């Protein structure tokens, strides 16, 4: 579970860096439109950094997803998948500790429709199985999502 927190912190930083690079790219475009002599930022370098952050972000999403069954006690510490899910008792603590990673993924990461649906299904499971209301709050978006000021899919 500790690794999920570590990955989530890295995910948060990569998402923040992506937004920072997007802001710099937006500023660069506005500066170049005003005065071509004042171009200090290399546009190709900004785009390259943005793609690197995006790639790392996608890797971290996969790693966090891989830790979900372990956090919910569907895979024991031995690493061997249980024969039958009915034999495992999901732990409320694991569900609780997944809330922050899932919140960051839902509100900060760029997820395709399938991954977003998976995050929602895990949050629903935590809410229905353990009665942890914070999962429903995250699902409802009551914690607020980051708005995209540029209108692109960044």
**Residue-range domain boundaries for the chain:** 2-140
pLDDT in the model for residue 138: 92
Distance CA 95, CA 99 (A): 7
Mean pLDDT across the chain: 76
Placement of tokens 């995050």 in the chain: 119
Is pLDDT above 90 for 30?
Answer: no
Whole-angstrom Cα Rg for the chain: 19
pTM summary value: 0.67
């Amino acid at each position: 579970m500790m690794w999920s927190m570590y990955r989530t912190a890295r995910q948060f930083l990569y998402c923040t860096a992506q937004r920072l690079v997007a802001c710099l790219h937006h500023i660069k475009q506005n500066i170049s439109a005003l005065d071509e002599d004042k171009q200090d930022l290399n546009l190709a370098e900004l785009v390259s950094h943005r793609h690197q952050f995006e790639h790392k972000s996608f890797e971290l999403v996969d790693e966090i997803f891989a830790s979900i069954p372990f956090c919910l006690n569907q895979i024991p510490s031995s690493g061997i998948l249980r024969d039958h899910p009915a034999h495992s008792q999901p732990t409320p603590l694991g569900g609780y500790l997944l809330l922050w990673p899932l919140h960051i993924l839902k509100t900060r990461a760029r997820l395709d429709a399938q991954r977003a649906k998976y995050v929602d299904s895990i949050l629903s499971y935590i809410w229905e199985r353990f009665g942890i209301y914070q999962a429903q709050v995250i699902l409802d978006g009551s914690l607020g999502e980051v708005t995209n000021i540029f209108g692109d899919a960044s």
